Amino acid sequence: MYKLALISGDGIGPEISKAAKSVIQLIHNMYDVKFEIIDVEAGDSVLKNNEKALPDLSFKVIKNSDVCMKAPIGESAADVIVYLRRMLDLYANIRPSKNYPNIRALKDDIDLVIVRENTEDVYAGLEYDFENASIAIRLTTKKASTRIAEYAFKLAKFRNKKKSVVSVHKANLLRKTDGLFSTTCREISKKYTDIQFSDMYVDACAMNLIRNPENFDVIVTTNLFGDILSDEAAQVVGSLGIAPAANIGDNFAIFEPVHGSAPDIAGKGIANPLSMILSVRMMLDWLAMKNNDNKCVDAAQKIEDAVTKVLAKGIKTPDIGGNNKTEDVTNTILTELRSTQ
């Protein structure tokens, strides 16, 4: 039995969490991967009656669980997810983008992953005010650069696709911080002779993601650049609404969509649940790896297949050109999952 802490979030968060919960419940009932879901409060809604967006009790429950899933949070996202990433040392943020059937993308044959350093950069929370000026400190350490580079090369090897890692930075301007990141990635690349390695400045990468996204395999980058490029990569394959993510540390992980709380469509029943459902898939893959649990491998693949089939049938929310509701997509996925058992 896996103890799963679930943050339902703000905006469209509760709508897509409901979808994820029903998928997890079905996996629990039909695929023999057992979950105990523990609802955890965090976010803007909690701030109304609480001093902290992430109450101490919520943090404790998350820490004592086996894994966490999180729907998007609104304005207090930094106090919840950025805090959790740093406190739990979830140093690798993994953000895949690939084509799915019936979703209009800029190109075909896109299958890339952004590996974003998740604990440093300007997210270290070191900002100061002076008279009429403010500064933010950008932190880069050898340790964090080494472990994220190692993660990226291991992932490229494991994926066994184009076997390439591109290190993305702005070392021509940020000579110290990105200089350290870039030289560290290059150093680590020497250990992985079967993986092609290259550097790319972040501005060129932003352009190349549109010009030839199909050329990328694994992109390793610093925190802020990874944040920005992953929204771009999600739209290149169709929508933020299909973009899942994982925050991975040595012993714990949190899975969440790439996007935010989408206040412009909240409450309308049209949020794409696939970002959250594909995050469930990523969670199952991680549980499989961590616990050597083959049932999780199987369940993860079933989710991927069900998503692909439902999209092939043209059941889609408006962000990807359809006219279905969140519930239609979720229910069709559940039906698909039931039929393949």
Tokens 């696709």, residue located: 161
* Chain residue at closest Cβ approach to Mg ion: 227
- Using CB under 6 A, which residues numbered 65 to 84 contact ligand NAI? 72-75, 77, 81
Q: Which is nearer to ligand NAI, 26 or 320 (CB)?
A: 320
Looking at residue 31, its amino acid is Y
Going by C-alpha positions, the residue among 245, 180, 173 that lies closest to residue 203 is 173
The catalytic position among 10, 227, 319, 328 is 227
Using CB under 6 A as the binding rule, whether residue 234 contacts ligand NAI is answered as: no
Look at residue 183 and give its three-state secondary structure: helix
Catalytic one of 39, 109, 203, 250:
203
Q: How far is CA 257 from CA 69, 95, 190, 274, in A?
A: 9, 9, 33, 9
Phi, psi of 256 (to 5 degrees): -160, 155
Q: Which two tokens stand for residue 110?
A: 């896109």
Our answer to whether residue 123 is catalytic in this structure is yes
Which residues touch 88 (CB under 8 Å, ≥6 apart)?
62, 63, 249, 252, 254
CA-wise closest residue to 34 among 82, 83, 67, 74: 67
Q: Judge whether 231 counts as a catalytic residue.
A: yes
Minimum CB distance to Mg ion smaller for 95 or for 325? 95
> Taking the CA atoms of the chain, what radius of gyration do you get in angstroms?
20
Closest contact distance (angstroms) between CB of 55 and ligand NAI is 17
Asked if 226 is part of the footprint of ligand NAI (rule: CB under 6 A), the reply reads no
Q: What residues numbered 245-264 form the site for ligand NAI, per CB under 6 A?
A: 256, 259-264
For the question of residue 170 being annotated catalytic, the response is: yes
Both structure tokens of 22: 């029903």
77 binds, among ligand NAI, Mg ion, none (CB under 5 to 8 A by kind): ligand NAI
> What element of type H or E holds 201?
strand 196-201
* Residue 293 appears among annotated catalytic residues: no
When the beta carbons of 217 and 256 are compared against ligand NAI, the nearer one is 256
Size of the site for ligand NAI (CB under 6 A): 22
Q: Considering the rule CB under 6 A, would residue 232 count as an interface residue with ligand NAI?
A: no
User: Can you tell me the distance from the alpha carbon of 334 to that of 54, in angstroms, rounded to the nearest whole number?
Assistant: 32
- In this structure, are residues 274 and 329 in contact, taking their beta carbons and an 8 Å threshold? yes
Smallest gap from residue 54 Cβ to Mg ion (A): 18
Cβ closest to Mg ion, residue 257 vs residue 322: 257
Please give the residues from 319 up to 338 whose contact with ligand NAI meets the rule CB under 6 A: 319
Residues of this chain that interact with ligand NAI (CB under 6 A) are 12, 16, 72-75, 77, 81, 240-241, 256, 259-265, 271-272, 275, 319
Q: Which residue numbers are catalytic? A: 123, 170, 203, 227, 231
